[in-house]
Structure 1
Amino acid sequence: VLPQIGFVHRGLEKLVETRDYNQFIYIAERICGICATGHSIGYAETVESLMGVEIPKRAEYLRIIWHELSRVHSHLLWLGLAADAFGFESMFMHCWRLRERVLDLFEKTTGGRVILSVVKVGGVVRDIDATQMAEINAVLDGLKDDYTKIMNTLLTDTSVKNRTVGVGHISTEDARSLSMVGPFARASNLPYDVRSFGKGAYGDLADFQPIVATEGDCYARVKVRCLEVLQSIEIIKELAAKIPAGDIEVAVKGAPADGAQASNVLEQPRGECYYYARGNGSKNLERMRIRTPTSQNLAGMTVALKGCDLADVNMIILTIDPCISCTER
């Protein structure tokens, strides 16, 4: 298997040279519609690190709440497509029905359903009041109950196991040597999740432990993503219960120093996303480099596909969940 990319490359990183750092955040959001919030947070945190800006604690909580909601929305979208591939047409509809509840929460708290445009360098542009926070909790409680029934049905179904168990296997050693990230890596017993360590760690903001599986096959990848939906719901509810009062943004003035450099990592729904920025003394950055999780996982995908039956190709690629939009940024 030889992945061929670049046919729809958009050159978004180059645009950073012709936009000031406040304008580029709207381009960063459009790297990928599903991961839009994550890309805006990752870019903003990189520029904030570049300029020595510390955002208010409340803004930090709000960013994570929206980001984890995006993870729920992304995984539900994926699960619906997976159910359709397994032949569960009605389950596909149920998964996307639950996803609509998350999109409705986005619309009520930000005004957008896919591209939220709520993150800025220095914080966030909107707050979530107590009434909206209570509604988020209520919606997630109902969603959790409905989703658990769907998840249990999918993971215990014989036909699903026949299509996924032992298919597209990746060992822990291969996952580590190929530097795989996200649910793809964690399904091979590699407990690598940026939310648990380093710059992207939630730390004392939320109780978090990576979800891993040991089998390394398609079934393990389905199981990890399914369980991560429930985990994200619990993270959101924990943050909503203890979010501090205060400002949601700080004023950011000036420009990054000439030669200043900064990097940042963020756990997107598909895995670790790396950001690098370099300033030149003006408001236009000199360089912006983004490494998306799909780019990192292409090597692992070729190993998973090697020697498989032709009928299993679709299932293997589906459980890896590559994003063409992120890769062709």
Structure 2
Amino acid sequence: MAKSTYYIPVGPIHPALKEPIRVEAEVEGEKIVKVDVKRGFAHRGIEYMGMKRNAIQTLYLSERICGICSISHPYAFVLGSEKALGIEAPPRAQYIRTVIAELERIHSHILWLGVIAHEMGFDSLLFWTWKGREKILDLLELITGNRINYSMYMIGGVRRDLKESHIKAIREAIDYYWKFTEQMKEIFLSDPVYKARTRGVAQLSKELALKLNVVGPVARAAGLRIDVRQDTPYDAYADIDVKAIVPQDIVGEVYGDGYDITLVRLYEIEQSLDIIEYCIDNLPEGKILAIPNYVALLNKIKKTQGEGIGMHEAPRGEVIHYFKYDGTRDGPAVWKVVAPSYNNINSWGPALLGAEVADIPIVVAYIDPCMCCNDRMAVVKDSSGKVLPYDLIRKKAIEKTMRIKKELGVRK
């Protein structure tokens, strides 16, 4: 009897993947009947490294967890640290933090829209969206000095103030993106090809979204009214009364698919524009750091025993940083990071079952995954499946390094 199903591996290296992960699909014809997702190809040990440094060094390390969310992890980091240390950022710093976070949300959402268009072969739309995204990156560079990894946040505030020239440039960008977003809505939501390729694809019901603990736009597209800025408001968000954006409030119905996620992200760009405009219109006067002297800040950390959790609604969903300071050193004794991709990747299995092979890139991209964000630890097994202990792995790694050095003729 002929075999009725076939195995198709996607990744860890594949044109549709920007980072390494493996999706193993079993198909009948073009229909996916079984799927397994394997992670663990991008483990970097960042949490371990962060607990070997002082808190300021670890803050800048947290910015390297994810390039696209390079403000989201520092934001959760400083919020958690401030709770553990019992300090509060000045009001002006809180508003500046909110402005930078929402600027990043706009550039991240536009990036996602371009990636989704690319995955379905709509590359002219990819280039057009990314051309529009450049204005946000230029603005972030003007304010912070860099297009990515801004080094803007600090425990107890921010490192740089907003100047009048910055505020003028922000207002110009707001005007530009109101018009640009209207154009994107017209193209993405009205194009029959885009709708045909996303409606019913990567679909999650509200009940399944709750069961899988998905977060961010993926959860809101399924009709869940969850948003950290709404549920546990912080900094300027507490003054703004942010409401989670869900499809039923926009079009009156929920499918929980790729098209609904597009709806959510487009309307969240407009929400971000409103938030930024509110912040610059109501920007408080005053200082931008609770403890301007970094030596004094590290001394306070060294003398403090406490723990705290920082939560921020990143463009992909909630980011959580847990801290514990034990009063013996100037860095965290415990640092634990949970990023949204760790939750959202769980939706790939149900979303792919019953889908077609051509839908795999769209389903993978619809959650806007970050592989480096979601890896927790590396587990090494021998040929029999037994987990190897740390000491043995370290010994073998040293032996391999020495062997390679000898082969290359390296003396030191």
| TM-score computed with the length of structure 2 as normaliser | 0.77
TM superposition shift of 1:238: 1.2
1:10 deviation in Å?
A: 0.3
Equivalent in the alignment of 1:323: 370
Asked if the contact 2:230–2:241 (Cα under 8 Å) also holds between the matched residues in 1, the reply is no
Aligned residues: 329
Distance 2:321 2:342 in 1: 13
Correspondence for 1:277 = 323
Q: 1:123 and 1:102 mapped to 2: Cα distance?
A: 22
| Cα distance in 1 for residues equivalent to 2:366 and 2:235 | 25
Matches of 1:296 and 1:27, distance apart in 2: 22
| Higher radius of gyration, 1 or 2 | 2
Counterpart residue number, 2:27 = none
Match of 1:128 in 2: 162
| Contact 1:98/1:147 (<8 A) preserved | no
Q: 1:107 aligns with which of 141, 150, 154?
A: 141
How far the C-alpha of 1:201 sits from its partner, in A, is: 7.5
Please list every run of 5 or more consecutive structure 2 residues that lacks an aligned counterpart in the other structure: 1-34, 248-253, 292-296, 377-412
Task: State the identity as a percent.
Answer: 35
- Counterpart of 1:266 in structure 2: which amino acid? H
Deviation of the 1:153 alpha carbon: 1.2
1:15 corresponds to which residue? 49
Could you give the per-residue CA deviations for residues 249-289 of structure 1, whole angstroms, max 9, x where no partner exists? 01134126665221121101100111111112121211100
* 1:177-235 deviation per Cα after TM superposition (whole angstroms, max 9, x unaligned): 21110000000000111010225485543242111122111111111112111111111
Q: Secondary structure, in 3 states, of the residue corresponding to 2:312?
A: strand
Q: 1:58, 1:245 within 8 Å by CA — same for their partners in 2?
A: yes
* Structure 1 unaligned residues grouped into runs of 5+: none
Q: Which residue of 1 aligns with 2:386?
A: none
Which residue does the alignment assign to 1:239? 279
Matching residue within 336, 345, 354 for 1:307: 354
Q: Given the alignment of the two structures, is residue 228 of structure 1 paired with residue 252 of structure 2, yes or no?
A: no
Q: Indicate the SS of the match to 2:289.
A: coil
Matched residues in 2 for 1:148 and 1:10: separation? Answer: 40
- Encode CA deviations 1:41-77: one digit per residue, 9 max, x unaligned: 1101111110001110000000010011011111111
Letter of the 1:135 counterpart: A
CA RMSD of aligned residues (A): 1.6
Query: Deviation per CA, 1:52-104, whole angstroms, max 9, x where unpaired?
Result: 01110000000010011011111111111122233332221121111110010
Kept in 2, the 8 Å contact 1:16–1:286? The answer is no
Give the aligned partner of residue 296 of structure 1.
343
1:91 is matched with: 125
Q: How does 1:1-329 map to 2 (within 5 A)?
A: 1-198=35-232, 200=234, 202-213=236-247, 214-251=254-291, 252=297, 253-255=299-301, 260-281=306-327, 282-328=329-375
Q: Give, as a single letter, the amino acid of the residue that structure 2 aligns with 1:42.
A: A
**Structure 2: which amino acid aligns with 1:232?**
S
- Which of the pair is proportionally richer in helix? 1
How has the CA–CA distance of structure 1 residues 108 and 274 changed in structure 2, closer, same or farther, with 3 Å as cutoff? same
Displacement over 3 Å in runs of 4+: 199-204, 256-259
Q: Which has the higher strand share?
A: 2
> What is the TM-score of this pair, normalised by structure 1?
0.96
